[in-house]
Amino acid sequence: MTTDRIRATRSRLIGHLPEWLQKRVRRLGLSLVPILQCAIAGGLAWFIAHDLLHHHRPFFAPISAVASLGLVLAKRWRRSIELIGGVLIGIVIGDLIISRIGAGPWQIAVVVALAMMAAVLFDSAPMVTNQAGASAVLVATLLPPGNAAGYERMLDAVIGGGVALLIGALVPFNPAHRARRDAALLLATLRDLCGDLAVALKAVDSDSVQRVLAQARATQSSIDTMHSDMRAGREVGALSPLYWGERPRLRRISDTGAPIDNAVRNFRVCARRALGLTQRGVVVEPPIVDLIAALPEGFEILRQMMLAPPKGAPDQADAARVLRSILRRAAPGIAEAQTAITEGEGDVSEVALLVELRSLLVDMLMVTGLKRESAIAQLRLS
């Protein structure tokens, strides 16, 4: 059974579940690989520190490993370094202070304050500060201070962070899957919203345009997730030998993040312009509405491009051809609309809408891999 058939079967099975459960099952599915990585890293870190090095209660090894990996996939290598740095600061200060002033409520307050202050001086990252304070608390309450014990705890933190990076490299998630899925979902959203906006403009329905704008504004969390998963994919490609050959492809996928983000932002502006026009009862020039109605075709080919397998179809060249076809079909009508507007037969605000649509088209062409200058040149040739 091919991978596509397995995914199709899985999707059908999940589709039979109640909607509230579907979301949770899909969320669990996306988290299975990170959970597996954390489980393996935690057990391996304890084994190295306890069974191989014979450290007494090496809590910091599995804690550091699990905290470094976590379920957030981006910037893991930085999290590992920050966590190790914070743990080391907390352990050193906790050992130095508690061994001299003893343990107790006010002693805990002192070591936590000193550890967090030292961490802030060392690095402004929240992970460093939080881990310094937490490590100081553990030293002051659960783990007896002492030179040998302090050395072991520092080594345990390094072991945990190192194991986390090792497991992240040797048991990686598919670095392209999440990024492609995120981008495809955003492109599908833009496809649907463009169709809805065209229908609303034809009907001069300001309430429908308002709903389109609200839905476009609600995409910010999806945009943030896309950027995060694209960064995570690039990191896996850099760290994991299993995916070194995928670096050019991962770079191409990552390069689509900025134009997709800009496309969403420009669409929001288009929707705001359209809302102002419909609220004043302006009937937008039909060629402009027709261009908006043609955009779903462009967003759909871009969505298919993002989900296509390596060297599969449609590729970037196929998507660019479809977008150029849309531009050629729309060019005569847009020229007529511009003439009508400049001769006073249209609303001046339509000019602003048309400008934003041109910016949106540039973003779409850039998703296919074109540089901005080349994308703008395509508009001029249309």
Full set of structural domains in the chain with CATH: 32-170 (no CATH), 177-381 (1.20.58)
- Token pair 């020039």 is found at 285
Tell me the one-letter amino acid at 251. Answer: R
CA dihedral sign, ordered 316, 322, 326, 329: positive
Per-residue pLDDT reduced to its tens digit, 320-353:
999 999 888 887 777 776 776 666 655 667 778 8
Q: What local confidence, expressed as pLDDT, does residue 91 receive?
A: 82
d(CA 139, CA 217): 47
Q: How far apart are the first and last CA of the chain?
A: 46
- Token pair 């390094």 is found at 158
* pLDDT at 1 > cutoff 60: no
d(CA 116, CA 141): 17
- Token pair 């496309």 is found at 263
* Predicted TM-score (pTM) of this structure: 0.75
* pLDDT at 313 > cutoff 60: yes
**Could you tell me the pLDDT band of residue 67, with boundaries at 50, 70 and 90?**
confident
Angle at 275 between CA 272 and CA 281, to 5 degrees: 150
- Element holding 180 (H helix, E strand): helix 177-202
**Could you tell me the pLDDT band of residue 14, with boundaries at 50, 70 and 90?**
low
User: Most distant CA pair in the chain: distance in Å?
Assistant: 86
Distances, alpha carbon 304 to alpha carbons 15, 181, 308, in Å: 22, 10, 6
d(CA 59, CA 46): 8
